Structure 1
């Protein structure tokens, strides 16, 4: 059953993101909102926080997928 929930969530995200890319309005894509959340354009601390968070998550997720016991 959980595969269905994840499939629906993924499909909904893909449809919304595609619509956001097609309509070309500002501040409606995931990447635009992440940039705003971390203040990427104006804050060195925000850039560092995003870099640290993304690197940490990516490393954990890679090991999590490759190593089922994590």
Structure 2
């Protein structure tokens, strides 16, 4: 797996997480059990995981070198 595949897979997962958060947000209209702060917390969790993963990804790229 090269760097481009790793970054592509990571961004696909990131945007899938955002899509999942939006689904939870709009599911509030259908299911009153879910509320907007549930989706907000989920989106914040996804963003935090994204930035933590991005920092880790940068270290992997730096230490792996340009192979």
TM beyond 0.5:
no
Relative contact order, higher structure (CA 8 A, sep 6+):
2
TM-score after normalising by structure 2: 0.39
TM-score after normalising by structure 1: 0.38
